Structure 1
Amino acid sequence: MHRWTLALLTAGLLATTATGCAGTTTAPGASASSTPRAAGSTAETLRLAEQLLVKTCMEKEGHKYWVEPPSPDDVSIRFPYVVDDPAWAGAHGYGTDLRRQRAAEVQKDPNQRYFHSAPAKDRAVLVSDLNGARPQGLSARLPNGIQVSHSDQGCQATAQRQLYGDLQAWFRATRVTDSLAGMRIGLVTADKRYKAAVTVWARCMRERTYTYADPARARAAATQPETPWPHAKEVRLASAEAACAVSSGLSSVAKSLDSEYRDRLQRSHPRETADLARLKREALPRARAIVAHGG
């Protein structure tokens, strides 16, 4: 997800609506680099190609735009259930050091500086040219019944249309499958097998003097207090969590359940799952050509 400032988020909301929930938009100002990273994986090739197409489109509209590098995974993405990598925990705790580093990078970001250096009237044009003026043209109903919509105009939509062809199918497939990820985490953490493993994990943590009932409470204690924890204190807790995640079996249980529910949810939404795979597969040759030519 793009790292927006409050100003960009406020402006970006002009381009997306949802009945009961805000959708996802793209706004100028995420961490950016003037030199794109070399594409490697399929996901990175597609991401970079889309960014190059956005850049070309924005420049045609008379704006400057810098290709965004991939955002590093936040701890909640890297470890959705429990921190289970002792080496990572020993270096980063719960990743507050990385979040501070990314926040500092955002302040130096060329897209951010370009956006904030523009007059107020031009900022609205920038957001409109990127995201479209109104959240109309694309729609999808999520598994929870919420209807989300987005503009089919603007450089983001133009880039995705050029890359994936069927923009409506892409919008629906990505929004639905993205929502399945959140559903999957809820199903895993509610599963009695996960809860049983958490009980064993909590016992291990008590032996290390920590009395948190589950990993979520441990993470919140270290990352959400009004006064930030010292890094060493955060590392000690995260390291204990990781060691107990491995020794208690919670890590393996969570991974097994995650795979089980992922397959189950994909089978329950075969159209969007198949569309997403097909659209990515068909877009890959185009993406490789775009990256090879630099846009």
Structure 2
Amino acid sequence: MLRRLAPAATAVALLLTGCTTPGPGPDAPARNSAPVTDPAEDDLLKTAQLTLVTRCLARQGLALPTRTHSTEDPRLQSALFGTGPSELSLTLPTGATVTAHTDGCLADALHTLYGDQRRWFHAQVTVNNLRALAADRMKTDPAHRAAMARWTDCAATRPRGTLPDRVPPAVADRCAVQSGLMDVRARLEPAELARVRAERRDQLTTYQQLRTRALRRASALIGAQPAITIQPKGTEGT
């Protein structure tokens, strides 16, 4: 049975998944575009990653901290995420570049689970950013451009003391509704997302295949030993 991760372990596990959340803005996707997955399977993969990373750190005389801020230790950072230039890099059609290391305990865990870290990196980054690509393409639509202009005018009237290049999330959301941008996105996104999914069907297939492989490996790994649980100081296990 998988045990619920304690808060510190959960924070580390979220780092290990490599997920990102877009900041507030007129075209920030509300969610990523990865296929809908079973939460129990997601938990299994996170627990397996945590188990593998913990083993890897132990071989170096290190351990995951019981407090999130302790991950700032340079030696632990290097052991977790690797050192030197990033060996993996993918520039998305939107212009953003995502990088990752092939050394470090996280990379070792991903290679063990998915069998090919490089293929998983390219597939996961591509799939998780399909919605961002669809949002970028919607910008050429006349209705979207008009709504975007209204959004910009709305967002220009933000609270005093706000940085010029920062739009508070509450303002961004309010302006998205008032400008009609939210409705335009809701109308345009399904067709645009379907197109980008079709164009990248091979990467979607690779994503599913490698995830299935990782689930089998994670099930065998976790089934062979008790799940690792990290508890903050002063708490009792559940």
TM-score interval for Structure 1 and Structure 2 normalised by the shorter chain: 0.5 to 0.7
Q: TM-score when scaled to structure 1?
A: 0.50
User: Are 1:131 and 2:64 counterparts?
Assistant: no
- Is residue 177–residue 273 contact of structure 1 (8 Å, CA) maintained in 2? yes
Residue 253 of structure 1 is matched in structure 2 by 184
Instruction: State the 1:152 CA deviation.
Output: 1.6
The equivalences for 1:13-162 within 5 A come to 33-34=8-9, 40-66=39-65, 110-113=67-70, 115-116=72-73, 123=74, 125-135=75-85, 137-140=87-90, 142-143=92-93, 150-162=100-112
Alignment coverage as a number of residue pairs: 193
Residue 266 of structure 1 is matched in structure 2 by 197
Task: Provide closer, same or farther for how the CA distance between residues 217 and 53 of structure 1 changes in structure 2, counting only shifts above 3 A.
Answer: farther
Q: Which amino acid aligns with 2:8?
A: S
Question: Structure 2, unaligned stretches of length 5 or more?
Answer: 1-5, 14-37, 229-238
- Is residue 139–residue 168 contact of structure 1 (8 Å, CA) maintained in 2? no
Instruction: State the 1:252 CA deviation.
Output: 4.4
- Is residue 47–residue 227 contact of structure 2 (8 Å, CA) maintained in 1? no
Distance 1:282 1:216 in 2: 49
- Fraction of identical pairs, as percent: 23
Q: Which has the higher contact order (CA 8 A, sep 6+)?
A: 2
Q: TM-score when scaled to structure 2?
A: 0.60
Question: Structure 1, unaligned stretches of length 5 or more?
Answer: 1-30, 67-108, 117-122, 200-211
Higher helix share: 1
Q: Which amino acid aligns with 2:195?
A: R
- Is residue 127–residue 203 contact of structure 2 (8 Å, CA) maintained in 1? yes
Task: Provide closer, same or farther for how the CA distance between residues 186 and 288 of structure 1 changes in structure 2, counting only shifts above 3 A.
Answer: same
Task: Provide closer, same or farther for how the CA distance between residues 241 and 279 of structure 1 changes in structure 2, counting only shifts above 3 A.
Answer: same
Residue 144 of structure 2 is matched in structure 1 by 194
Distance 2:208 2:153 in 1: 32
- Is residue 130–residue 155 contact of structure 1 (8 Å, CA) maintained in 2? yes
Task: Provide closer, same or farther for how the CA distance between residues 239 and 253 of structure 1 changes in structure 2, counting only shifts above 3 A.
Answer: closer
Instruction: State the 1:47 CA deviation.
Output: 3.3
Q: Aligned to 1:280, what secondary structure does the other structure show?
A: helix
What's the Cα RMSD here?
4.1
